[in-house]
A and B are shown apart, each in its own frame.
Chain A
Amino acid sequence: MRARVFVTLKPSVFDPQGTTVTEALHSLGYDTVKDVRQGKYFELEIEAASADEARRLASEAADKLLANPVIESYRIEI
Chain B
Amino acid sequence: MRFAVVVFPGSNCDHDALYAVEHVLGQTAAFVWHKDTSLGDADAVILPGGFAYGDYLRTGAIARFSPIMQAIKTFAAAGGPVIGICNGFQVLLEAGLLPGAMLRNRSVRFQCEHVYVKVEQTDTPFTLACAPGQVLRLPIAHGEGNYYAEPDVIARLEQQRQVVFRYTTAQGAATAEANPNGSVHNIAGLCNEARNVVGLMPHPERACELALGSADGLVMFKSVLQAINGVGSHLSRTLSPR
Name A residues whose Cβ lies closer than 8 Å to a Cβ of B: 9, 12-17, 20, 65-66, 68, 70-71
Q: Contact check: which of A9, A16, A66 meets B108 at CB < 8 Å?
A: A16
Residues in chain A near residue B106, CB distance under 8 A: 14, 16
Q: How far is the CB of B105 from chain A (nearest CB, A)?
A: 7
Distance to closest chain A CB from B8 (angstroms): 16
Q: Please state if B148 and A68 are interface contacts (CB–CB under 8 Å).
A: no
- Measured between alpha carbons, how far is A17 from B94 in the docked complex, in Å? 21
Which B positions have Cβ atoms within 8 angstroms of A?
57-58, 61-62, 65, 93-94, 99-101, 103-108, 146, 148-150, 182
Using A16-B146, A20-B108 as known contacts, say yes or no to A68 and B103 having CB atoms under 8 A apart.
no
B105's partner among A15, A16, A70 (CB-CB below 8 A) is A16
B101 touches A16 (CB 8 A): no
Residues of B within 8 A of A15 (CB): 103
Q: Which residues of A contact B94 (CB under 8 A)?
A: 68
* Nearest-Cβ distance from residue B154 to partner chain A, whole angstroms: 12
- Mind listing 10 A-B residue pairs with CB under 8 Å? A13-B148, A14-B182, A16-B182, A20-B108, A65-B57, A65-B61, A68-B101, A70-B101, A70-B150, A71-B101
A15 and B106 CA atoms in complex are apart in Å by 8
Complex Cα spacing A65 to B65, Å: 9
Known: A9-B103, A16-B107, A16-B146. 5 other contacts (CB 8 A): A12-B150, A16-B182, A65-B61, A65-B62, A70-B150
Asked if residues A16 and B103 are in contact (CB atoms below 8 Å), the reply is yes
Identify the closest chain A residue to B151 (Cβ): A12
A44 to chain B, nearest CB (A): 14
Q: Chain B contacts of A13 at CB under 8 A?
A: 103, 148
In Å, the complex CA distance between A66 and B182 comes to 24
Name the 3 nearest CB pairs between A and B, nearest first: A70-B101, A71-B101, A16-B104
Chain B residues near A70: list those with CB within 8 A. 93, 99-101, 148-150
Contact (A68, B58) CB under 8 Å given A13-B103, A14-B182: yes
